[in-house]
Structure 1
Amino acid sequence: MTSSDDLFQSLSSEELDELEDFLLLDTHDDKSMTLDMLDGFLAALAVGPSLITPSEWLPMVLDVEGEAPPSFSSPEQGARMTGLIVRYMNSVVSVFDADPESYSPLFDQCVFGDPEEEELAVKAWALGFILGMELRWDDWLPVFDALNAEGDAEAHLLTPIFLLSGTDENMPELNDEEREEWRELIPESVSRLYRYWLPSRSQQ
């Protein structure tokens, strides 16, 4: 197997744990993404209107504001963690390329110790998705004005993401039932966003 092939190998559960532990290190000064946030971030990059190179988005993983270059304790750690993150990205992309409707966010694949932990994971995923959008915000703007074949606004696909992110202070706080209802819409929303932006990505 070549090194190129290695970059398209899905992460094992042990490697996901290794990546999560790295992202939670104190040396990142709470600037790095959590694993759930990274999962949402990569989903936005995978389904969005623009192809974005790793050199642009990788720095944001360890500093969500993208102000500092990635910091590693050694070249070996840098190569290892960068490899895991790129493989994670490639595995997300491969899901959409193979079967968009099969997409499942990380929080739907995990077992949580309590409802609060679960709520934080969903919120982190949604925040990560919005961060991914912000890398090419102007390119995303057309979806807010577009209508689908039934004449409905395509922007409604983003409603679950923005509501669950808690970024809009003007929105009332969701109760548990509402939060669960919006959460269940995430996979369909993301897969439909993939199909919406597919023609744009195909032209690049």
Structure 2
Amino acid sequence: MTPSDDLFKPLSSEELDELEDFLLLDGHEDKSMTLDMLDGFLAALAAGPSLVMPSEWLPMVLDVEGRTPPSFVSPEEAARITTLIIRYMNATAGVFEDDPDSYQPLYDQCVFGDPEEEEFAVKAWALGFILGMELRWDDWIPVFDAVDEEGDSEVLLLTPIFLLSGTDENQPELTEEDRESWRELIPESVSGLYRFWQMYRAQE
């Protein structure tokens, strides 16, 4: 395996823990993404309509607003954490390229200590996905206007994500049953969005 191949190697559970620990360090936790938010963020970038270069999205991982340069204690730490995040992104993109239907958000691969922790993880994932969309919001606009072969609006693919994010202050609070129902639709929604942009680009 060459060094470039290493950049496409999925993170092990130990490496995911290492990355999560870094994001939760003092000085990072108030402005950096959580691991679940990062997972949603990278899903939006990988499944979305246009290429976003790492130089643009990487700074947002440690500062969601992108205002503060990443802080590392050493060049070695900077290289290590950056490599982990790039590998995470490449592995996410690889899932869509190889088998979009196999996509699973991180929270579906984890065991949680209590329902509140799980709900927080799902919400963070949805917020991360929306942050990824916002990097190329104008490029995402066609999905809001498109309809599928059955005449249904393609924007319905985004409904579970927006509802679970809780970003709409006028939205009634979801019941536990509602949250579970919408959550189950997330993998299908994300793979559907990936396919939409593939078809959309093919028709341009």
The interval holding the TM-score normalised by the smaller chain is: over 0.9
Residue by residue over 1:16-72, the C-alpha shift from the partner in whole angstroms, topping out at 9 and shown as x without a partner, is: 000000000112251000000000000000000010110010000000001112111
- For residues 184 and 154 of structure 2, the distance between their equivalents in structure 1, rounded to whole angstroms, comes to 18
Kindly state the Cα deviation for residue 200 of structure 1 after the two structures are TM-superposed: 5.2
Unaligned stretches of 5+ residues in structure 2? none
Aligned in 2, Cα 1:63/1:200: closer, same or farther, shift over 3 Å?
farther
Tell me which residue corresponds to 1:187: 187
Q: Is the 8 A contact 1:50 1:200 kept in 2?
A: no
Amino acid at match of 1:4: S
Aligned in 2, Cα 1:20/1:202: closer, same or farther, shift over 3 Å?
farther
Aligned in 2, Cα 1:74/1:112: closer, same or farther, shift over 3 Å?
same
- For residues 156 and 200 of structure 1, the distance between their equivalents in structure 2, rounded to whole angstroms, comes to 16
Query: Cα RMSD over matched residues?
Result: 1.4
Tell me which residue corresponds to 1:134: 134
1:56-71 matches, within 5 Å, as 56-71=56-71
Kindly state the Cα deviation for residue 199 of structure 1 after the two structures are TM-superposed: 4.2
Q: Is the 8 A contact 1:8 1:87 kept in 2?
A: yes
TM-score by length of 1: 0.97
TM-score by length of 2: 0.97
Q: Is the 8 A contact 2:44 2:130 kept in 1?
A: yes
Amino acid at match of 2:25: L
- For residues 69 and 138 of structure 1, the distance between their equivalents in structure 2, rounded to whole angstroms, comes to 26
Q: Is the 8 A contact 2:15 2:84 kept in 1?
A: yes
Tell me which residue corresponds to 2:196: 196
Tell me which residue corresponds to 1:170: 170
Kindly state the Cα deviation for residue 198 of structure 1 after the two structures are TM-superposed: 1.4
- For residues 201 and 68 of structure 2, the distance between their equivalents in structure 1, rounded to whole angstroms, comes to 29
- For residues 159 and 73 of structure 2, the distance between their equivalents in structure 1, rounded to whole angstroms, comes to 40
Residue by residue over 1:108-166, the C-alpha shift from the partner in whole angstroms, topping out at 9 and shown as x without a partner, is: 00000000000000000000000000000010011001000000000000000000000
Confirm whether residue 78 of structure 1 aligns to residue 74 of structure 2: no
1:20-31 matches, within 5 Å, as 20-28=20-28, 30-31=30-31
Kindly state the Cα deviation for residue 3 of structure 1 after the two structures are TM-superposed: 1.3
Tell me which residue corresponds to 1:87: 87
The SS at the match of 1:66 is: coil
The SS at the match of 2:27 is: helix
- For residues 69 and 21 of structure 1, the distance between their equivalents in structure 2, rounded to whole angstroms, comes to 19
Amino acid at match of 1:134: E
Amino acid at match of 1:21: D
- For residues 153 and 138 of structure 2, the distance between their equivalents in structure 1, rounded to whole angstroms, comes to 18
Moved over 2 A (4+): 199-203
Amino acid at match of 1:133: M
Confirm whether residue 121 of structure 1 aligns to residue 113 of structure 2: no
